[in-house]
């Protein structure tokens, strides 16, 4: 069961977690893919025992389903940074659309002069400069939207397809997220000071557009390919969590070494 009881100071309704780890060495804040459930990401806590895993839960998702979702990136990002206290040291992980949100959150944190992440994990997402929205997906009819979702990512779960109310709810989440993506415009700014790790599935296209993330980092950059398609983390969860754990522990070690030499 997901433990969604949070303190208002930390993030209130904006954050959920599976377990509470007051002695965690670091925090990982996850941003879900389009139409994705934040609860799917907090399950990674089972494989990341030294890390406090959080999932960002914006309006229009899970327990906040009745709230009006954001449809513009700037407004969403400003709300996240206003409402969430990012406890450090911390890293940001975003999958697909969530990677863009995490990236913009990192830039907003920097613009406010707040302590930034030790690393950004950008998963299955083209670099911000390579985003091309040729279709206005959020304007499609329900039938066309469903067809487009299934063309890109495979069939919707049978239980959603067979339940009109559940299907309507799922399509509403996708539609709001696609509105975010359709309206997204990259604004030139300096690259992030933190390292960037890009992750992709070995059965998904767009590797060249993912490599372009390199231009967004002044520090280390690496790219990893894991078994699977666009939602590779479902079949390669163990491999992904091992990579997250190793990378964050390495970042913390380097951080301690730098501190001891100052």
Q: What secondary structure, in 3-state letters, does the chain show?
A: CCECCCCCCCCHHHEEECCCCCCCCEEEEEECCCCCCHHHHHHHHHHCCCEEEEEECCCCCHHHCCCCCCCCHHHHHHHHHHHCCCCCCEEEEEECHHHHHHHHHHHHHHHCCCCCCCEEEEECCCCHHHCCCCCCHHHCCHHHHHHHHHHHHCCCCHHHHCCHHHHHHHHHHHHHHHHHHHHCCCCCCCCECCCEEEEEECCCCCHHHHHHHHHHECCCEEEEEECCCCCHHHCCHHHHHHHHHHHHHHHHHHHHHHHHHC
Q: Is 95 a catalytic site residue?
A: no
Q: How far apart are CA 135 and CA 103, in angstroms?
A: 23
User: Has 10 been annotated as catalytic?
Assistant: no
Which of 95, 126, 230, 236 does the annotation list as catalytic? 230
Structure tokens at 223: 């790219």
Annotated catalytic residue, options 27, 95, 96, 138: 96
Distances in whole angstroms, Cα of residue 165 to Cα of each of 12, 150, 162, 170: 28, 18, 9, 9
* Active-site amino acid positions: 96, 230
């Amino acid at each position: 069961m997901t433990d969604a009881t949070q303190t208002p100071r930390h993030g209130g309704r904006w954050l959920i977690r599976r377990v509470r780890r007051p002695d965690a060495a670091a925090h990982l804040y996850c941003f879900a893919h389009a139409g994705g459930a934040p609860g799917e990401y907090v399950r990674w806590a089972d494989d990341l025992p030294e890390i406090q895993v959080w999932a960002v839960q914006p309006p229009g998702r899970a327990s906040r389903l009745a709230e009006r979702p954001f449809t513009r990136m700037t407004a969403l990002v400003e709300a996240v940074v206003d409402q969430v206290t990012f406890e450090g040291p911390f890293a940001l992980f975003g999958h697909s659309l969530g990677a863009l949100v995490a990236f913009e959150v990192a830039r907003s944190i920097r613009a406010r002069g707040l302590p930034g992440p030790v690393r950004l994990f950008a998963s299955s997402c083209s670099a911000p400069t390579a985003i091309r929205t040729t279709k206005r997906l959020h304007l499609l009819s329900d039938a066309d939207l469903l067809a487009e979702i299934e063309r890109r990512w495979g069939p919707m779960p049978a239980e959603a397809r067979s339940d009109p109310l559940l299907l309507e709810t799922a399509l509403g989440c996708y539609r709001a997220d696609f509105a975010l993506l359709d309206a997204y415009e990259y604004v030139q700014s300096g690259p992030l000071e933190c390292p960037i790790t890009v992750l992709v599935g070995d059965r998904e296209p767009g590797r060249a557009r993912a490599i372009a993330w390199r231009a967004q980092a002044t520090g280390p950059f690496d790219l990893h390919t894991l078994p699977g398609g666009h939602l590779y983390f479902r079949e390669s969860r163990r491999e992904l969590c091992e990579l997250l754990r190793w990378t964050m522990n390495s970042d913390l070690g380097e951080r301690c070494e730098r501190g001891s030499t100052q």
